[in-house]
A and B are shown apart, each in its own frame.
Chain A
Amino acid sequence: MQIRNRHLLGWLEAVPLTLVLVAFLVAPIVMIVIVSFWGATEFSIYPAFQFDNYAYLFGSKVVLSVFISTFKYALITWIFTFAIGFTVAYFLAFHIRSLTMQVALFLICTIPFWTSNIIRMISWIPFLGRNGIANQTLISWGVIDEPLEWLLYSDFSVILAFVHLYTLFMVVPIFNTMMRIDKSLLEAARDNGASGFQTLRHVILPLTKPGIMIGTIFVVTLVMGDFITVRFMSGSQSANVGRLISNDIGLLQYPSAAATAVVLLCTVLIVIAILLRFVNIRKEL
């Protein structure tokens, strides 16, 4: 049988993907939203429609402070990953002339990703510890007399690990957009007497905006959802929203965890919506 109606054909083509998305994305989220209104005892959850979980979430000072620290981690990590990512991408895209060299150097950037996230994170612990390599080196150089306590189990170590883990997610999309910039534009800028900084600010930066946005979305969502890094690198001394959820799950408080997850999801969506105001990603892709 030949399908003549083009609309019908279009719909049919979209069906498989729609089904997959409904089954594995929409349905779980709907389930989480439903459970977030349920109640829980020590060992069971029971269907109900109550606002207890949300009331606690929005009423607790602790939850507020945890959300604030989540944003703090996301913002500071973003600043560093952007600064480093942009510089690296700029260097790769505009200072390396041969394509082979660009590819080779780009591959070098990915070397750390040959081991798992957790291993890369945990290997910081002996390095930064009280008697770790960093402190011993600084002491032997005579820079400090006493080991620096704040190197490990502090916000410093958490952000350091985040930056280490996620900078590549910034490098890749920025590098990608930079590569697509027409080099003649840069020449034109120079011919018109623009300084290097002016070219960067008025030509390169606007043209790389989509890459920056995509990188930002990666980094911000990853940092906001990551709880393992916060737990290990702060020695469990700090918390972000992810840890709140994982603690709840560990203690069988699924409805409370679901409510927190819903709030986190909404927060992340709002952040992304705001970011998308700055750039039309669909046009750029």
Chain B
Amino acid sequence: MAKPKVGYSRRTLLKAGGAALAASTLPAPMLWAQDTKDIVLRQFGTGVSNLNDVAKKVKEDLGITLEMTALDSDSVTQRAATQPDSFDIADIEYWICKKVWPTGNLQAMDVSKIDNYDKIVGIFKSGKLTPETDIAQGTAPHTVGFIEEPGAKTFASEQTNWMTLIPTIYNADTLGIRPDLIGRPIDTWAELLNPEFKGKASILDISSIGIMDMAMVCEAMGEVAYGDKGNMTKEEIDKTIAIFMEAKKAGQFRAFWKSFDESVNLMASGEVVIQSMWSPAITAVKSRGIDCVYQPLKEGYRSWGGGLGLSSSLSGMELDAAYDYINWYLSGWVGGYLMRQGYYSAVPETSKEFMSENEWGYWFEGKPATDTITSPTGDTLAAAGDVRDGGDFYERMGSVACWNAVMDENQYMVRKWNEFIAA
């Protein structure tokens, strides 16, 4: 039988005694330090960046307890829009921000309190990666990144002192393929509807993202010319969906996927040889020893970005802790962690310090790996001599054709999307 637990060990009693002593001599700061230990921040977001390792590390570094909930994109939107008191920090994507911000459930962030603001890459501030690059179509993060003043429901057209989300993570998405089952080079989005892959193609069933993939395909096929793929007219939506509906009826698709795991299983089991996919899903397939490529395509990438938003109910000490957390987030450790999985950090400079030269060269600079590349959890992702698909950071992010978007005609699009799925 287990012995009854002793409530206090000698050590904790000593500690408590010491703290009490210190508190009586130096009251204010000691009390504060005691209090931050009790602070709990509830964060939710997509599985991409809601990682337990981050919670563990922030506990070590700052003493803040972070409670993570990972959900899919639709559930994230729902929760942010309908349950403002159920979270302190929303880890959401920029296109979701466009839906959620007008509900008033998030509060603007004071840029002057963000230490590394100047080092954040241009995409999130001016929209330009480098001064020469073009701004891609769709809901580019900088267009929903700022508001004029706290409380404003609409977005500012330029950088201001008030940010909606603090950018943390982003990537350029493309099609995933099984080279062993395809056996020839793939270089265009149009291949997704190539009858050669009848019954072996897939696309994701998240309308806001799926419609963008569809648009990349239709444009590549030369079937539809879009004014702005991220903000289609009803007519453009009709044409796009019609093309895919026809392909669906002809049996082009094996299945549609909604979650990360589904996409991995479809690809790994060989049900599908070409599909829209996310970069870590490719990694997951590869880690099972199956050849899978995140294929760069000549029309460019469909990109997405995520960031941290503060609940409007945050105030006082919790709010200060949230700022501490965000500053810590951008200070490098998390960035390194994310970049070693193939994503990009919003502040690459600081991440560099948390990556080896080999890792930085492989992930950021597009150089051949000088040694084995492993993920933060220890899986082997690449061998010495391998090169990352799509080249270096500037080449990849410079080839972004559009961002995940919420269109003016979103409701119409969603209805058409449901028709596509039900057809």
**Interface centre among A42, A66, A238, A249, by most B CB within 10 Å?**
A42
B313 within 8 A of A: no
Q: How many residues of A contact B (CB 8 A)?
A: 32
Task: For the complex, give the distance between the alpha carbons of A239 and B415 in Å.
Answer: 14
B110 within 8 A of A: no
Q: Are A42 and B99 in contact (CB under 8 A)?
A: yes
Task: For the complex, give the distance between the alpha carbons of A247 and B418 in Å.
Answer: 8
B410 within 8 A of A: yes
Q: How far is the CB of B78 from chain A (nearest CB, A)?
A: 6
Grouping DSSP codes into helix (H, G, I), strand (E, B) and loop, the B interface class, with mixed when no group exceeds half, is helix
Q: How far is the CB of A199 from chain B (nearest CB, A)?
A: 47
Task: For the complex, give the distance between the alpha carbons of A60 and B421 in Å.
Answer: 14
A251 / chain B contacts, CB cutoff of 8 Å: 74, 207, 414
B255 / chain A contacts, CB cutoff of 8 Å: 153, 234-237
B422 / chain A contacts, CB cutoff of 8 Å: 62, 65-66, 238-239, 243-244
A250 / chain B contacts, CB cutoff of 8 Å: 74-75, 78
User: Which partner residue on chain A sits nearest B205 by CB separation?
Assistant: A236
Given A247-B421, A251-B74, A252-B78 in contact, is the A235-B254 Cβ separation under 8 Å? yes
Task: For the complex, give the distance between the alpha carbons of A238 and B422 in Å.
Answer: 6
B415 / chain A contacts, CB cutoff of 8 Å: 56
User: Which partner residue on chain A sits nearest B198 by CB separation?
Assistant: A149
A114 within 8 A of B: no
Q: How far is the CB of B193 from chain A (nearest CB, A)?
A: 16
Identify which of B264-272, B302-310, B314-322, B331-339 touches chain A: B264-272
B405 / chain A contacts, CB cutoff of 8 Å: none
Q: Which of B71-125 contact A (CB under 8 A)?
A: 74-75, 77-78, 81-82, 99-100, 102-103
User: Can you add 20 more A-B contacts, CB < 8 Å, to A237-B421, A249-B78?
Assistant: A43-B102, A43-B103, A62-B418, A65-B422, A125-B265, A130-B269, A235-B202, A235-B266, A236-B256, A236-B258, A236-B421, A237-B256, A239-B422, A243-B422, A244-B418, A247-B418, A247-B421, A250-B74, A252-B77, A252-B99
The chain A residues found within 8 Å of chain B, CB to CB, are 42-44, 56, 60, 62, 65-66, 125-126, 129-132, 149, 152-153, 231, 234-239, 243-244, 247, 249-253
What are 17 A-to-B residue pairs whose CB atoms are below 8 Å?
Answer: A42-B410, A42-B411, A43-B100, A43-B102, A62-B419, A66-B422, A130-B271, A153-B254, A235-B253, A235-B257, A235-B266, A236-B255, A244-B422, A250-B74, A250-B75, A251-B414, A252-B77
